[in-house]
Amino acid sequence: MRMKKLTPILYVTTIEPSLEFWVDGLRFKKTMEVPAGDKLGFVGLERDGLEIMLQTHGSMKEDLSLPTTSQQSSAMLYIEVDDLEPLRNLAKSAEIVVPERTTFYGMREIAFREPGGQVVVFAIKAEK
């Protein structure tokens, strides 16, 4: 068996605040959206062959009839990039939870909590 693609679905309370982080800040494009009343219940986002989906807790409960016990993420996204500089302006729309650092395993990283509550770490190989 060959796995071809992984698409994380992040559950959030509301989608709209997260769009500033993902669309405006990181330049993902909306590829699909599903309304839920006067707000969004689900969106698909894509950039450079990466895909991520955002779905509200309420939409997920209606869609899959699964219980939602937490409004916070139980996972973290780790994204290797080729440049950290463009990410610095994300501090306007997301809390920095780990300031830029160089790790013992040779990566420079910065971590944000995006408005939906997800922790997203961006990393680049540290220069020697």
Report the percentage of the chain scoring pLDDT > 70: 88
pLDDT grade for 5, boundaries at 50, 70 and 90: confident
Q: What is the pLDDT of residues 65-104, one digit of tens each?
A: 555 544 555 567 889 899 898 888 888 888 898 899 998 8
Q: Which DSSP string corresponds to the chain? A: --------EEEES-SHHHHIIIIIIT--EEEEEEEETTEEEEEEEEETTEEEEEEEHHHHHHHH------SS-S-EEEEE-S-SGGGGGGGGTSEEEEEEEE-TTSEEEEEEE-TTS-EEEEEEEPP-
Q: Output the pTM of the full model.
A: 0.73
Domain architecture of the chain: domains with CATH: 9-125 (3.10.180.10)
- For residue 15, the tally of other CB atoms under 10 A from its CB is 23
Q: How far apart are CA 7 and CA 123, in angstroms?
A: 19
Which segment of 48-52, 81-85, 90-94, 108-112 scores lowest on mean pLDDT?
Answer: 90-94
Give the residue, 105 or 64, on which the prediction is more confident. 105
**pLDDT (0 to 100) of residue 69:** 47
According to the model, what pLDDT value does residue 126 have? 92
Q: Give the chain's mean pLDDT.
A: 85
What mean pLDDT is predicted for residues 47-59? 90
Is the predicted pLDDT of residue 30 greater than 80, yes or no?
A: yes
Residue with tokens 């990283």: 109
Torsion of Cα atoms, 117 then 61 then 9 then 3, to 10°: 150
pLDDT bin (cut points 50, 70, 90) of residue 50 is: very high
